[in-house]
Structure 1
Amino acid sequence: MMNLKYTLQLQRKNILSFFLAAIFIWSLFAVKWSEDLVHSGGLATIQQVALALFNPNLSPTIIQLALESTWITLAYAVCGMTLAIVIAFFFGIFASGIMFDHTGPKLVFKWVFRGILGFLRAIHELVWALIFVAMFGLSPLSAILALGIPYGGILGRILADMLNDIPEEPIQALRASGASKLQCLLYGYFPLVRANIISYTMYRFECAIRSSAIMSFVGLGGLGFQIQLSLNDLKYDEVWTFLFFLIGIVVLVDSWSVHVRKGIHEAKKGFTFVSFSFFFTILLLISSWWFIFSYEQASLKDLFSEKNAFYAQKFFAGLFGIGAENTPAFLQLEAWKEALKLTYETLRMSVLAIGISTIAMFLTVIPAARNIADGSLTLIRKWYAWLLFGFIRILYIFSRAIPELVWAMIIIFILKPGILPGAIALALHNFGILGKLCAEVIEDLDERPVRNLASCGASKSQMLLYGVLPAVMPKFLMYILYRWEVIMRTTIVVGFVGAGGLGQQFKMSLSFFHYTDVSLLLLCYCILVLIADLLSEAARKAAK
């Protein structure tokens, strides 16, 4: 019986792997492969960008500008995450259903709030930014709302899932001792999820910094704004200076996160790194909000003024086609045909992107694992293993630290607008993330089966083929599918700079105030994200 179950699981994984490979091949036909893909000066541009990488502009003026822009990017990210945590706290608790005893209200609240969280996170932060700028104007609070809402949706969903996964025994013990629901929440649920939710929040903060950098696309300052200006002026040495600052801040936050997680698990007494991080976080919060309200002169009063209320009402009326002279786009058959064509194009872009990043990950992930580099897994040590390990890990950091939109802005100088530059930009960013996650899977692998193969005389390639890959493949597939969901949300963003799909048309429709077209494209986008979530969830179950 067990053998039959194992055989069926293996067949499901093989079918899933074959299906994923087949749809990647299908996505390749979305691109018309020819010499016409590259700009006439594309090769020369590649050379200029590559040479500038080793010769960034380090003049005092540029360094000062980079430091100021780094602080602006960080401040927006901190304020956005503050709002996200508040949203996640309240919506996540209601979405978990733990505050209700009766099945009826519990299910209603659970699915209503899960639906709200799903909607909040389905729309990319840059799309939210464009919407809020159209409603409230070019205010710092537009960017903060744009960061806080989708990240709140993501954090809220994670918090709800963590609260649902807590064993009932400790909570029942608290209830039996007379604890109220609030006391159960504060002394039962929260202590059990604290370490994991802090860890995930730190990871999302790293992502928020990258998202904050691309808020420049709607006209707000920061590193992304300087990168965009330097790219437009073809000053690639300045581009790399600002990119190095962005990479540096992402690496620092990543390192901070690692030490905080380590400190939480060790639970030492006295003034520890976790204690220092707590006070530093408070200082960072105060400084960031002071900067937004004092230096950037953001105003809640102005945000909710009669003038902004008028523009917001006008914007929403336009989205629903109220008072429109012509038939709204979402009621026109031809408009639906064009929108669905762009949706299909966007889907193929996302598949091509995850396919490219997956292939790149598989080519690099083995030497990027620490237990492969030091020989502890395969019992085979090579002098060059650590050099290869260090080089690939730096490549992963470099790849994932640069946002997709920035990659797209660079690539569009080399390749002509279309699906391919968007797919490559998405693949470059997700290659670093996939590589890091999958390398850690190999590092956490049970070493005994692989060592047994080594003791039987298996070569290194045989150990990797028959010992490592079968053990890690289910988690690899889960990470690949998860990143595909994320890529699906991001495809609309790379389209803003001419990379094709829904994003390119969305930006044009918003620029020309064709608001019913915007509604139709947003609807198609949400449907696409929902379908991706459902397909990915089904595929992940098959991969287990």
Structure 2
Amino acid sequence: MRRRWFFLGAIALFFGGLWALEVRPGQLIPSEGGREAAADFLSAAFQPALDYEESDMRGGEVSFLGKIGKALWLTVRYAVVAMSLAFVIGVIGGVLGSRAWWSQPNLFLQVLRIGTRLLATAIRSVHELMWALLFLSAVGTSPLVAILAMAFPYGGTLAKVFSELLDESESSAGEVIRASGGSGFTAFFAGVVTKALPDLATYALYRLECAARSSAVLGFVGIPTIGYEIKTAYEDGHYHEIWSYVYALLIVVVLFEAWGAKVRGLLTKGTPSRVDEEKGQSLSELWRGRGRSWFLRFSVATLAVGIAAGWMAEDRWGAGVGWEQRERNLDRFTDEMVPYPVREADGDWSVFGSWFSEKMSDGGAVALWRTFHVGTTAILLAGGLSLIGILFAARTLASSNPRGVRDGGGKIRGLLGMFLRGASMLARAMPEYILAFLLLRVFGPTYWVLIFALAIHNGGILLRLGAEVIDNTKSQASEVILAQGGNRSSAYLAAMMPAGFNRLVLFLFYRWESCIREATVLGMLGVASLGFLISDAKVAFFYDEMILWVGLGAALVFVGDLTSDFVRGKLRTFE
């Protein structure tokens, strides 16, 4: 009954969102001029450029492929350096926000812990593009802007997740250390952190993969990553060059994901020991025979070298404008971020309410409402499509022996499953912002573009996670259905999906908060939402309005984050 009401509510919310956004199927059909431009743009995907499209650019000091390589290098370098800083923030915030760190918490420590977690949630609620806009407005363009714009939200995310992983880690070893007279410090690091270390490392690597995508997107606000080159080529009408940049980005992100998946697998499963299970072995023999992975060691060394090289390769992190100009920009920004009526009233904040009401009635409330529905409609579309795709992408259903029961037709389903898993990987690799940017050229500025961009990316993630849930869920009922002659669809719908329902919904809500977060910035591409208001305020140098819209977007993400945490917590009680 609970599942039935959930599906009915999701369907009602999906079509309610389409109604609220006033989207129509006819908007998916471009005009005649739009169809010609879309055809040129899509045909260029099959002929990516290997050299500049403008003949004047050929034969210059930097070749086209060299330009791609430099943009990729900056994209990866900014991502690695930003994550090194975010990791420090995450470790400090994760420890301070963890219950396991405070063995005997008093009121002050409880306030510190809760305050740390709220601060982590708050800074992660502001999208990295919004952080970049704020820093660009305050101090001007510099490489440090890109680093801080990613380090803050990613540090907040790491702090939140690290604290949760530490709290959920098995703490019996720490309790034994305390009972034996060990200090709380020793008990925490030896008994709790050691146990949670593989999960902490695997999540940090996952965020590094995400940072590579985010670094590319920062190019759309002026940071010289590969996103900047994509935007420039788009403005010049060089469609073949666009696809060259996109394919290069996809290759790098897919390689990052494959490397990260390999390392995460080694950290999670470990490597077998080379010592025979015999008695009487010394500690030195056990140490020499411990499980080792040269791939893991090489990865750690490469990552350490990459972080050091990333920091050292930039000799002027604050380059772009002089310090005097930077101070003037900062003074102006901090002055004009105060609402205009408050400045005119010599700091009297009693006039803030009327100014806020005016801005909300002039379009802020509608933009907030539409941003919510863009994110919600997109995740429901992604969830519905992924539920269908899981039937074919799950390895246990795509094999010739589903759940150990011999069945025919496995080859076609196996090929279809491989295709869906490959498409899922490509969808995950492409950032939502760049997807929306490309779809704008095909469909024009409609809400369908934002919905499809979010649904494609998140659908790829949900398809992968959902297939793993089905593969790892034990269901005797599905085996009985298949053994009695039932087909795979019946086994999936009647047994396997209900058995893994709670986990699937957990992932849906996890991605919903990410969709809300991304929806707050996709409007910067020209579709009316909070992101559009933010971009418009920045162009007009209305910093007070920009701060207002950024704050509203962060508040929306914050509420979505808390709602998602609440629902996921309730669902865990039913597992």
Q: Distance in 1 between matches of 2:459 and 2:219?
A: 24
Which one-letter code corresponds to 1:19 in the other structure?
G
Runs of 4+ in structure 1 deviating by more than 6 angstroms, as ranges, are: none
Instruction: Give the secondary-structure state (helix, strand or coil) at the position aligned to 1:366.
Output: helix
Per-residue CA deviations over 1:326-345 (Å, capped at 9, x if unaligned) read 86687342212221121011
Per-residue CA deviations over 1:409-447 (Å, capped at 9, x if unaligned) read 112222232422222221122121111111111121215
- Of 546, 554, 569, 1:518 maps to 546
Which one-letter code corresponds to 1:262 in the other structure?
G
Answer whether contact 1:330 1:517 (CA < 8 A) is retained. no
Which one-letter code corresponds to 2:249 in the other structure?
L
Q: Distance in 2 between matches of 1:500 and 1:422?
A: 11
- CA shift in 2, pair 1:330/1:248, >3 Å: farther
Instruction: Give the secondary-structure state (helix, strand or coil) at the position aligned to 1:146.
Output: helix
Answer whether contact 2:339 2:545 (CA < 8 A) is retained. no
- CA shift in 2, pair 1:392/1:50, >3 Å: farther
- Of 479, 493, 499, 1:471 maps to 499
1:288 is displaced (CA, Å) by: 1.2
Matched, 1:66 2:68: yes
Unaligned runs of 5+ in 2: 53-62, 273-290, 346-350
Q: Distance in 2 between matches of 1:371 and 1:130?
A: 46
Answer whether contact 2:172 2:191 (CA < 8 A) is retained. no
Matched, 1:273 2:295: yes
Answer whether contact 1:16 1:542 (CA < 8 A) is retained. no
Q: Distance in 1 between matches of 2:458 and 2:366?
A: 25
Q: CA RMSD in A?
A: 2.3
1:63 is displaced (CA, Å) by: 2.5
Per-residue CA deviations over 1:33-77 (Å, capped at 9, x if unaligned) read 164563443323333333222222234933322222111100000
1:133 is displaced (CA, Å) by: 0.8
Match of 2:411? 383
Identity, in percent, stands at 27
Per-residue CA deviations over 1:443-467 (Å, capped at 9, x if unaligned) read 2121533222222222222212212
Answer whether contact 2:174 2:190 (CA < 8 A) is retained. no
Q: Distance in 1 between matches of 2:522 and 2:24?
A: 20
- CA shift in 2, pair 1:364/1:309, >3 Å: same
Match of 1:5? none
- CA shift in 2, pair 1:358/1:162, >3 Å: same
Instruction: Give the secondary-structure state (helix, strand or coil) at the position aligned to 1:76.
Output: helix
Instruction: Give the secondary-structure state (helix, strand or coil) at the position aligned to 1:412.
Output: helix
Matched, 1:194 2:212: no
Q: Distance in 1 between matches of 2:43 and 2:523?
A: 27
Match of 2:49? 57
Q: Distance in 2 between matches of 1:376 and 1:115?
A: 49
Match of 2:84? 82
- Of 507, 530, 533, 2:561 maps to 533
Moved more, 237-246 or 532-541: 532-541
Instruction: Give the secondary-structure state (helix, strand or coil) at the position aligned to 2:100.
Output: coil
Match of 2:381? 356
Answer whether contact 1:12 1:542 (CA < 8 A) is retained. no
Answer whether contact 2:122 2:558 (CA < 8 A) is retained. no
Matched, 1:20 2:10: yes
Unaligned runs of 5+ in 1: 1-10
Instruction: Give the secondary-structure state (helix, strand or coil) at the position aligned to 1:98.
Output: helix
Moved more, 374-383 or 482-491: 374-383
- Of 231, 250, 253, 1:250 maps to 253
- Of 333, 336, 340, 2:357 maps to 333
Answer whether contact 2:95 2:101 (CA < 8 A) is retained. yes
Answer whether contact 1:263 1:273 (CA < 8 A) is retained. no
Larger Rg: 2
Which one-letter code corresponds to 2:305 in the other structure?
L
Answer whether contact 1:147 1:208 (CA < 8 A) is retained. yes
Match of 1:298? 317
Answer whether contact 2:399 2:411 (CA < 8 A) is retained. no
Q: Distance in 1 between matches of 2:298 and 2:321?
A: 35
Match of 2:214? 211
What is the TM-score when the length of structure 1 is the normalising length? 0.92
1:159 is displaced (CA, Å) by: 0.5
Q: Distance in 2 between matches of 1:92 and 1:140?
A: 27
Matched, 1:282 2:307: no
- CA shift in 2, pair 1:62/1:372, >3 Å: farther
Match of 1:96? 98
